[in-house]
Amino acid sequence: MKRLEPNRALVMLATAMVIGTLSTGSANAETAVPPPEVLVLAIPATAKYVPEKTGTDQYTQKISLEGLRGEWVSLQILIKEVSNVSRLENVNAIPSDLDMVDGDATISADSAYTLYREWFLDIREPSGAGLAVQNHLREPGLYPDPLIPFKDPFKPGDVPVAAPFTLNQDPGYAVIWVDLFIPRDATPGQYSGNVKVEWTEFDLNGNAGEADSRYVDIDLQVWELDMPRERNVATAFGISDGSIRSYHGGPDPAATRENYDQIVRTYHKVLHDHRM
């Protein structure tokens, strides 16, 4: 057998090691799981997000609001699993204080914000009065309707109800409704703040990643005008104490028996606060 010269043998050994390293790297690259991708967008309160129908190209992670002192303004936050996500856990939204841009005034997040999770109803038969409203045809599909509060409005303290929550691959989206009350003693001017949306993501193999988050930036213009406390415009929503019982309790007549009066008062308070 012919012996290799020492220098030539070292060169061949180094070449083999390099090729082995490249092969291993290629194999790892083929089996690597791409990082999860999650989309968070701010949507105006006047828009309705209908899955598989509503486009999102016109929305960003920033929104501008304006209102009078004593007025409620609102926005929506869409959370959508784009790719390489099996689920999101511990999904939550945390608003910041709103600080005046050219001043020292602050609107406290604790007293200004109320958050809800939008729940989607599966409409299986066409509904409506025969009206064809462009982009919102009353066709079968998923439509947002009930608002589930993040915190229990019937119990003292911060008792969680709708958040934090888990967002699975099916349906792969969630919408948060954000109510913002402008205090009656707020200093007029421009304010800025944000809502932090946070979660723990899991890749397609079910492996937990690190906690992640996105921010929705809010610009708020408070006008030097006051919303009157007295309501002079009548509204009709067809609601009564009896209908509240059936809507809230569902088919079980005993579901709201124990704290029914408190439930009715809470409904009335929400209607009063929002001038209805």
Task: State the total domains in the chain.
Answer: 2
Question: Cα–Cα distance between 241 and 222 in angstroms, integer?
Answer: 36
Residue 190 lies in a domain: yes
What radius of gyration, in Å, describes the C-alpha atoms of the chain? 27
Same domain, 147 and 56: yes
Domain that holds residue 102: 37-227
Question: Cα–Cα distance between 235 and 226 in angstroms, integer?
Answer: 21
Partners of 198 in beta bridges: 92, 213
Residue 14 lies in a domain: no
Same domain, 191 and 168: yes
What pLDDT, on a 0 to 100 scale, did the predictor assign at position 136? 56
The CATH number of whichever domain residue 153 belongs to comes to 2.60.40
Residue 30 lies in a domain: no
pLDDT in tens, 230-250: 877 777 777 787 777 777 766
Same domain, 140 and 200: yes
Residue 106 lies in a domain: yes
Residue 15 lies in a domain: no
Which has more confidence, 1 or 100?
100
Answer yes or no: are the C-beta atoms of 182 and 70 closer than 8 Å.
Answer: yes
What pLDDT, on a 0 to 100 scale, did the predictor assign at position 94? 98
pLDDT in tens, 190-245: 999 999 999 999 988 888 888 999 999 999 999 999 998 887 777 777 778 777 77
Q: Which residues, 6 or more positions from 151, have their beta carbon under 8 angstroms from its beta carbon?
A: 158, 159, 160, 161
DSSP annotation of 2: P
Total length of the chain:
276
Same domain, 72 and 204: yes
Same domain, 57 and 134: yes
149: confidence class by pLDDT, cuts 50, 70, 90 = very high
